[in-house]
Chains A and B, each alone.
Chain A
Amino acid sequence: MSFSTISSDCVHRPARRYVVAIIAIATAWLAATMAANVLIDPQAVFGSNLVRVHFNANARYLAFRDYQADPDRYDAVLFASSRGNAFDRTLLAAQLGVRRVANFSVPFGLLTDHLPTLEFLLRDKAARGGQLAAVVLILDADFFGKQPWTNLNIDSFLPPQISGESPFRFWWRYLTAFQYKQWKNDLDAVAGPRPVAGPAAGVTGAMGVSDVLGSKPSLAGLVPVWPLAPLGKASVPVAETFLAETDAPEIRSDLAHQLDLLARFVALCRAHNARLVVAFSPLNRRNVGDAQAPDMERIVDQVTRVTPVWDFDRPAWLSDRPDLWLDFSHYSTAVATMMTQRIFGTATSAPADFGRLTGP
């Protein structure tokens, strides 16, 4: 007996072959997508290395993989947005008196990235019988409190060990996302030079941190050149909010939340006897104009109530020196070095008013 709902003249048609063909089409499509993702590896998470340039790499995952490669050699960590890549970590380690500083400078890095990563590192260190000696946290007054990019887009998912997400979900996402544009961009880059690409010094050889900058300097180079809609639990309106907020300096819808996260961050460092250094990156006046200065001061003031912080403000002399900037948003290693020297009180070529420590 059949329970077919097909009208009688259809019942005996080759339904079986039809079913097999549909399943075959779907499976082939999935398999092709998986193969493209593994071979081209647009987020550089599989490490296949067949294509060496990735315009949409997951810098969060890459930073984690760097750390995981030899966790015991790090006893300090740098948390920052992509601006943090300007820091000379050898100099930083010397000033901190530690062996080596792990770099967790990620595009649009905010406390929503830094706190879970710090929690993971402290757990990991404890499990290995070690300890974090120092933590450097570089904040951005122009983006603190805005909608975070964390876990919003395929290039911004934290590794499951940090986020607590199921590894299956994490890897399934990267295997099955159909991302024709990313595949094409990466393959085009292999075929020839790409006009929009920035400097080619990404994390572990992949373009993904400072390399995807440039199209939108006002975003601190933090939004990928080709943003995708969100993949996680966040829905499309969140991505819209994110994009809207990046263009509206006065909107900081996540400020209270991020201040809470900062307080927990500080408390964790204190509880684990890790030396904490917090600083605000200097801003370029062409990127953050005078009209926005009171808003920046408000943010610095709010953060100062939680922890002492070095504020490098928006010095006019610095904004007038294009040689000290990679773009309007990202300062050069020379500036980061001046910051490091000022924070640790060593000789520096910077003017005396560059950076001031303010406390609660």
Chain B
Amino acid sequence: MLFNTSEFIFIFLPLAVTLHFLVARHSVVAAAAITTLSSLAFYAYWNPPFVLLPALSIGANFLLARAISATPEPAARRLLIVGILANLLVLGYFKYEDFLVAIFEQRSPHPPAVPLALSFTTFVQIAFLVHVWRHRPSFDLARYAMFVSFFPHLIAGPIVRWNELGPQISDRLRYRLDADNIALGLTVFCLGLGKKVLIADRLAPHISPVFDAAALREPITVLAAWGASFAYSAQLFFDFSGYCDMAVGLGLLFNLRLPINFAAPFRAASIIDLWRRWHITLSRFLRDFVYVPLGGSNCGPLRRSANLIMTMVLGGLWHGANWTFIAWGAFNGVLLVGNHAWRSYRGARRPTRWGLFAGWCATFTSFAIGMAMFRSADIGAANHMLAAMVGLANGPAAADPIRVAADLYSIRHGYLPESLVRAWFGVNWSVIATLSTLAALAIALLVPDTMELVDYREGEPHSDWRRPAGRLAWRPSPAWLAFVGIVFASAFTFFWEFNEFLYYQF
């Protein structure tokens, strides 16, 4: 089930919330259990037989955690290693098995049929096992199952930790309806819905033709290549941050506060800062469970650089079994190494305003280049896109028909010269697509983020990204009600489109 569908919003969600609080009147443990069942039903709606996987995984990890908790060292450590390996083995089997076999067989891998949510629940449960080994917290099956399966974060994060969500689930006082949280939760949910449905999904049809052309090695103009890469950057941001806003909003309906996952990353003036603000909970997982165990920053510059690149490559690979993700991870690792080197060179000097602007330009441009690799169907298509970005993939032949309909009206009515569209935009990109992308980026850069508007700070590693929302700050006022109502009603008109969240595929 998707958050952006009418059956979720009008049937599942009211039922799940009502059941949770009704049952909580009698028993908190039963409420946690019933919400776990709701969450599994939410999962099963996608593919009923596959619900066995999270159910078995939760059961197995619970037993393992109990064993770790009750076992002295060094046996507990061995159990932990077994648990981590078992989780990774399941993930690897579903996600990377064919990719690895394809390498040996020297063929192209088939698209893997990865069970929904597997990547996210694997990381949540690995982090939990490590937490249990380190801190030996108390937990029971009902609360643990709800912690892992809680539907707002089940499919695509944020990747929650037991120390931030576990105590909330254990807190009896949270099992009462709270109108303030519901008001805030509904607002955050609707804003996320707007990001996803009204912005990200509107960009999607413009992007596919260019990347499809790259997959077929067809000519792409420089403007089309850059335009599609910027557009995909914006689409991915609004899609995933919209999903995360919705998850936070849904959590609030249950009086549970999920961590934020995005902190206006497109405003970052360095690649280091950008990765502190993009998919925050994944970055922190990779830092704590990959980068630090590899030695982190407590080693020489060469080793640290290797650790960074390796962490980012693994982060890329986590997104899927494709060389494009590995290349994207390595590219970002190199950028981070370069950024650290630049910081060492500059020392403590504060950047000037122009320096910040140059940093922002370089950061955003690098990010878009990375996105060209990330979105491409295969490494050959990624190469083609990168070649197109520097003008090495030639424009279209004069006889090629313009394949995107967006500009045809303007061309037919004489508002746009066809020769201009062909020369600059090619047959797969359009003036409308360019304007839509610019509008989306302007919103990302200039309009306060949802979390700024509602002053939500849960799980925020730092707050220096925030800008005061001023008079725009959320309050349960008629003006905000009208705005949220318009956003919801507008999004509703697109519900029939059935657009999955991009991060569901990872």
> Contact at B458–A5, with CB atoms within 8 Å?
yes
Of the candidate stretches A11-19, A69-77, A92-100, the one touching chain B is A11-19
Q: Give the docked Cα–Cα distance between A117 and B7 (Å).
A: 27
Chain B residues near A235 (CB, 8 Å)? 498-500
Given contacts A5-B458, A19-B182, A33 and B476 within 8 Å (CB-CB): no
Q: Nearest residue in A to B257 (C-beta to C-beta)?
A: A5
Min distance, Cβ A231 to any Cβ of chain B, angstroms: 5
Selected from A18, A26, A228, the residue in CB contact (under 8 A) with B183 is: A18
| Interface residues in B452-482 (C-beta closer than 8 Å to A) | 454-458, 474-477, 480-481
> Contact at A236–B181, with CB atoms within 8 Å?
no
Q: Nearest residue in B to A13 (C-beta to C-beta)?
A: B476
Q: Nearest residue in A to B499 (C-beta to C-beta)?
A: A236
> Contact at B499–A15, with CB atoms within 8 Å?
no
Chain B residues near A352 (CB, 8 Å)? none
| Interface residues in B221-262 (C-beta closer than 8 Å to A) | 252, 255, 257
Chain A residues near B173 (CB, 8 Å)? 1, 3
> Contact at B496–A236, with CB atoms within 8 Å?
no
> Contact at A229–B496, with CB atoms within 8 Å?
yes
Q: In this assembly, does B344 line the interface, its C-beta being within 8 Å of a C-beta of chain A?
A: no
> Contact at A180–B493, with CB atoms within 8 Å?
yes
> Contact at B498–A231, with CB atoms within 8 Å?
yes
Min distance, Cβ A298 to any Cβ of chain B, angstroms: 22
SS class of chain B's interface: helix, strand, loop or mixed?
A: helix
Given contacts A3-B255, A5-B257, A230-B498, A19 and B179 within 8 Å (CB-CB): yes
Q: What size tier do the contact residues of chain A reach? A: 35 or more
Given contacts A3-B178, A33-B492, A235-B500, A15 and B255 within 8 Å (CB-CB): no
Chain B residues near A5 (CB, 8 Å)? 181, 184, 252, 257, 454-458
Min distance, Cβ A241 to any Cβ of chain B, angstroms: 9
Given contacts A19-B179, A19-B182, A178 and B492 within 8 Å (CB-CB): yes
Min distance, Cβ B139 to any Cβ of chain A, angstroms: 21
Chain B residues near A308 (CB, 8 Å)? none
Given contacts A33-B492, A236-B497, A7 and B182 within 8 Å (CB-CB): no
Q: In this assembly, does A10 line the interface, its C-beta being within 8 Å of a C-beta of chain B?
A: yes
Q: In this assembly, does B71 line the interface, its C-beta being within 8 Å of a C-beta of chain A?
A: no
> Contact at B205–A236, with CB atoms within 8 Å?
yes
On chain B, the number of residues with a Cβ less than 8 Å from chain A's Cβ atoms is 46
Chain B residues near A154 (CB, 8 Å)? 496
Q: In this assembly, does B398 line the interface, its C-beta being within 8 Å of a C-beta of chain A?
A: no
Q: Give the docked Cα–Cα distance between A194 and B255 (Å).
A: 54
Q: Give the docked Cα–Cα distance between A231 and B494 (Å).
A: 11
Q: Give the docked Cα–Cα distance between A35 and B187 (Å).
A: 26
Q: Nearest residue in A to B248 (C-beta to C-beta)?
A: A5
> Contact at A22–B181, with CB atoms within 8 Å?
no
Q: In this assembly, does A68 line the interface, its C-beta being within 8 Å of a C-beta of chain B?
A: no
Chain A residues near B494 (CB, 8 Å)? 178
Q: Give the docked Cα–Cα distance between A23 and B174 (Å).
A: 22
Q: In this assembly, does B338 line the interface, its C-beta being within 8 Å of a C-beta of chain A?
A: no
Q: Give the docked Cα–Cα distance between A182 and B256 (Å).
A: 42
Q: In this assembly, does A29 line the interface, its C-beta being within 8 Å of a C-beta of chain B?
A: yes
Q: Give the docked Cα–Cα distance between A77 and B374 (Å).
A: 50
Min distance, Cβ A24 to any Cβ of chain B, angstroms: 9
Q: Give the docked Cα–Cα distance between A234 and B500 (Å).
A: 10
Among B6, B184, B492, which residue has the most Cβ atoms of chain A within 10 A? B6
> Contact at A25–B495, with CB atoms within 8 Å?
no
Q: Give the docked Cα–Cα distance between A235 and B492 (Å).
A: 18
Selected from A13, A172, A229, the residue in CB contact (under 8 A) with B7 is: A172
Min distance, Cβ A248 to any Cβ of chain B, angstroms: 11
Given contacts A7-B455, A19-B179, A178 and B495 within 8 Å (CB-CB): yes
Q: In this assembly, does B9 line the interface, its C-beta being within 8 Å of a C-beta of chain A?
A: yes
Q: In this assembly, does B488 line the interface, its C-beta being within 8 Å of a C-beta of chain A?
A: yes
Selected from B10, B190, B208, B493, the residue in CB contact (under 8 A) with A178 is: B493
Q: In this assembly, does B423 line the interface, its C-beta being within 8 Å of a C-beta of chain A?
A: no
Q: In this assembly, does B484 line the interface, its C-beta being within 8 Å of a C-beta of chain A?
A: yes
Chain A residues near B190 (CB, 8 Å)? 22
Chain A residues near B484 (CB, 8 Å)? 22
Given contacts A21-B481, A25-B488, A180-B493, A16 and B475 within 8 Å (CB-CB): no
| Interface residues in A146-193 (C-beta closer than 8 Å to B) | 154, 169, 172-173, 176-180
Q: Give the docked Cα–Cα distance between A240 and B498 (Å).
A: 14
> Contact at B489–A25, with CB atoms within 8 Å?
yes
Q: Nearest residue in B to A33 (C-beta to C-beta)?
A: B492
Q: Give the docked Cα–Cα distance between A58 and B15 (Å).
A: 31
Q: In this assembly, does B180 line the interface, its C-beta being within 8 Å of a C-beta of chain A?
A: yes
> Contact at B178–A19, with CB atoms within 8 Å?
no
Chain A residues near B476 (CB, 8 Å)? 10, 13-15, 17-18
Q: In this assembly, does B204 line the interface, its C-beta being within 8 Å of a C-beta of chain A?
A: yes
- 24 A-B interface contacts by CB (under 8 A): A4-B184, A5-B252, A5-B458, A6-B454, A10-B180, A10-B476, A15-B182, A15-B184, A15-B476, A18-B476, A18-B477, A19-B179, A21-B481, A26-B9, A29-B489, A29-B492, A30-B492, A169-B7, A176-B495, A177-B495, A177-B496, A229-B497, A235-B498, A236-B208
Given A3-B178, A3-B181, A172-B7, 19 new contacts (CB under 8 A): A2-B181, A3-B255, A4-B178, A5-B184, A5-B252, A6-B455, A7-B455, A10-B474, A15-B179, A22-B484, A23-B186, A25-B489, A26-B10, A30-B6, A30-B10, A154-B496, A229-B497, A234-B498, A240-B205
State the 7 A-B residue pairs at the shortest beta-carbon distance, nearest first: A18-B476, A4-B180, A15-B183, A177-B496, A176-B6, A15-B179, A25-B485
